[in-house]
Amino acid sequence: MLVDSHCHINFPDLSSRLPEVLGNMQHNGVELALVIGVSRPKYPEVLALAENHANLYATVGIHPDDPEAEEFSEEELLAHAAHPRVVGIGETGLDYHWCKGDLEWQHQRFRTHIRAAKRAGLPLIIHTRESAADTIRILREEGAEQCGGVMHCFTENWEVAQAALEIGFYISFSGIVTFKNAAQIKEVAQKMPLERMLVETDSPYLAPVPYRGKLNEPAYVRHVAEHIAELRGIRFEEVAAATSDNFYRLFSKIQRPQAGQAA
């Protein structure tokens, strides 16, 4: 079985056809998906999905790309993290692609999330774009190895991956790894210790080959795992088993479904 470690199925293109999306997951052997919080206004949607479906869980956080976003305080993050269906803090991190100029506000938002994760004992879901050096630096400064987490939708080089591994983080690969021009990411997927790897869709974005350019959904995480298996010269089942084991090790608040258990 597979796990989609990062998706946004509360977004309208997927939430409007939720029964089909969940059915496709089951048909493709995807036993669970983690629905990621990115804003305060949308958080109730994320939580409702997790509360109403046994095979969906939630995280709480504020994405780093909007300087005007309504914040969660550290105490508010901590309060939401106490919910039994909330299993991680984020999406959080740094984004220097969409945001320019004085980004101290972004750094402070990131530090707030890290501190909440440490206090809650929950892993972080990290977004980093054109900001890897500062992302790693702040994680180190804030002692993020105490809570751990995942570098989601990884697009950096092997040196950045090694730095993340050194502070106890996992690396998650999205459909980008299947793209023909993604040589750097393919290299990391080949070199990565299998026991520190996750797979994800980041749906509705970044659909893997053969669906590139189309709407993505959690069922398609299978194609990510299949491509990584091909890159590494191992069986798909080995990648599926390892990445699922890794997910439940990292997100230890989740009780792993028993074989044959209905979602």
Which residue numbers belong to the known binding site for a divalent metal cation? 6, 8, 91, 127, 152, 202
Positive or negative, the CA dihedral 126, 130, 132, 137 is negative
Residue 136, class by beta-carbon neighbours within 10 Å (0-12 exposed, 13-18 middle, 19+ buried)? buried
Q: Output the known binding site.
A: 6, 8, 91, 127, 152, 202
